[in-house]
Amino acid sequence: MTDTRCWFHCHAATMKGGHYSVIEDAAILARGERIAWIGPRDVLPPGDCQAVDLGGAWVTPGLIDCHTHLVFAGERSAEFELRLEGASYAEIAAHGGGILSTLRATRAASEEQLLDGALRRARQLLRDGVTCLEVKSGYGLDLPGERKQLRVARRLAERLPLTVRTTCLAAHAVPPEYAGRADAYIEHVCTELLPALVDEGLVDAVDAYCEHLAFSPEQVERLFRAAEALGLPVKLHAEQLSALGGTRVAARHRALSADHLEYAGEADVVALAKAGTVAVLLPAAFYLLDESRQPPVEALRRHAVPMALASDLNPGTAPVLSLRLMLAMACTSFGLTAEEALAGVTLHAARALGLADDHGSLEPGKYADFVAWDIHRPAELAYWLGGELSRRIVFHGKEVSH
C-alpha cells in the first residue's frame, strides 16, 4: 500500500509568508509525515494515493501555542477572587501567593500527578486543532522540581499527537531558599541547574521573567550568556507590567521571542526588528490582569516585527483552555486583523519556537500537520467565542481523533 495520501475538495489558507495565501479548490499530497505537494486540484500530479474527500472544508496549518506554562499542580481561583476585590497581582505575589503558591503545590506533586493534570489541559488545547506546543518549567525552581516539570513536558509528546518544545524558565521567581539573594540564585541556575538539565536533554530554550517582582535586566543578561555558552536559544517575558528594558536585552541576544510587551515602546520595537525577534502577544493575561496598556501593535506592524499569539496557559494570569479564543481576544483587545491572528498561531508562532523550517504553513517539505475546518471563511476562526468547531485534524500525515 502506498504511503502517499491526498486530501481534496477543500480550500487552503496556507499561511505562506504570514498571509492567508489561499488556494481555492485545493489538493494536498503527503508522503509519509511531510507535505509533498499542495496546489489547485486541477493540476494535481498524477500517481497512486489514498484519497480523502474533505467535503468543502477550509484547511489551515495545525495551530501552534508558542507560550504555555501548562505543567503545574493546584489552581489559583482564590487569587482570582482577591483580584476581583481589588488586590493586585504584585501584592498577592509579595504576600507569598502567585508563582510561589504554585511552586509549593508543584514541588509536592508526583511526576504522575503532574502528568495527569498536564494531559487534561493539553487535550483541551488539542480540541482546537493545536499540533505543536511550547511548555515552560518555572514552578519547581530547584533541580528536582524543574526536572520533574520538563520530564512531564517531554512525556506529553509520547502520549499525544503533538510536537512539544521545552523551555527552562528557572528564572521565573526567586525561590524561598534564596529569598533576598536573587543574584546568588541566578548564579546557581547558570552554573548548576541549567547545565544539569541540558545534559539530560530536557531543554530546548531558556526563558526568564524580567520584571520588578522577578529579575532585573542585568540578571537576565547573566542568564542569557550562560544559555548561549550551552548553545541554547533564549526568549523573555518582557515589559509586561512595567518598562524595565528587558525587550532590548532580548534583542541584543537575538532572542527567538520577546513576550507580553504591553509596556514596550518604539525603540524596543526597532530593536526587535533589527534582531529578527518575534513579538508574542498574550491577550488572556492582559484581560485577566485588567491591564489598560496595550502592546505597541501599530509600531510592530510598521517595523514588520512578526506577531505571534499564545495562550500563556498558567494558573495565575491565564487559566486558558482554548487557543482559538485567543484569536478573538487579540482582534478585539489589540486590534489585530483575523488574518494577523491566524498567522500569530501558525507561521509566526513557529518562528517564535525556531521551528519555521518544518512547521507553521502548508508548504512542500514541512510536516503534514493541518486542520480541516467546517467553516465558510477563515475569519470564522477568530469569530466564534469558545465551543468546539467541527473539524478533522491531521498530524504528521495521519488523521487523529480527539
Q: Which residues are annotated as a binding site for Fe(3+)?
A: 67, 69, 237, 312
Neighbours of 232 (CB within 10 A): 17
Minimum gap (Å) between residue 122 Cβ and Fe ion: 16
Minimum gap (Å) between residue 280 Cβ and ligand NIG: 10
149 binds, among ligand NIG, Fe ion, none (CB under 5 to 8 A by kind): none
Give the sheet arrangement for strand 307-309, strand by strand: 235-238, 257-260, 278-281, 307-309
Which three cell numbers, joined as nine digits, stand for 24? 481555492
Does the protein bind Fe ion through residue 312 (CB under 5 A)?
yes
Tell which residue, 246, 206, 257, has the closest CA to residue 227: 206
Select from 94-102, 223-231, 296-304, 350-358 the region that touches ligand NIG (CB under 6 A). Answer: 94-102
Q: Which is nearer to ligand NIG, 198 or 288 (CB)?
A: 288
Minimum gap (Å) between residue 322 Cβ and Fe ion: 17
Residue with cell 502567585: 98
Task: Draw the binding track, 280-319, toward ligand NIG (x: CB under 6 A; -: no contact).
Answer: -----x--------------------------x-xxxx--
Question: Which residues, other chains included, contact 155 with Cβ-Cβ below 8 Å and sequence gap of 6+?
Answer: 115
Whole-number Å distance between alpha carbons of 177 and 169: 17
- Binding residue (CB under 6 A) for ligand NIG from 18, 61, 62, 98: 98
Task: Draw the binding track, 224-253, toward ligand NIG (x: CB under 6 A; -: no contact).
Answer: -------------x--x-------------
Tell which residue, 312, 317, 316, 319, has the closest CA to residue 345: 312
378 binds, among ligand NIG, Fe ion, none (CB under 5 to 8 A by kind): none
Question: Which residues, other chains included, contact 368 with Cβ-Cβ below 8 Å and sequence gap of 6+?
Answer: 5, 28, 30, 33, 34, 35, 394, 396, 397
285 binds, among Fe ion, ligand NIG, none (CB under 5 to 8 A by kind): ligand NIG
209 binds, among Fe ion, ligand NIG, none (CB under 5 to 8 A by kind): ligand NIG
Which three cell numbers, joined as nine digits, stand for 38? 499542495
Minimum gap (Å) between residue 136 Cβ and ligand NIG: 8
User: Which residue ranges make up the annotated binding site?
Assistant: 67, 69, 76, 139, 172, 237, 240, 312, 314, 316-317
Minimum gap (Å) between residue 288 Cβ and ligand NIG: 9
Minimum gap (Å) between residue 316 Cβ and ligand NIG: 2
Which three cell numbers, joined as nine digits, stand for 18? 504570514
Quick check: 164 and 153 in contact, CB under 8 A?
Answer: yes
Whose CB is nearest to Fe ion?
A: 312
Angle at 215 between CA 143 and CA 187, to 5 degrees: 45
Q: Which is nearer to ligand NIG, 62 or 97 (CB)?
A: 97
Question: Which residues, other chains included, contact 49 with Cβ-Cβ below 8 Å and sequence gap of 6+?
Answer: 2, 4, 5, 6, 29
Minimum gap (Å) between residue 45 Cβ and Fe ion: 44
Q: Which residues pair with 129 in a beta bridge?
A: none
Q: Which residues pair with 392 in a beta bridge?
A: 372
Residues contributing to the site for ligand NIG (CB under 6 A)? 69, 98-99, 102, 209, 237, 240, 285, 312, 314-317
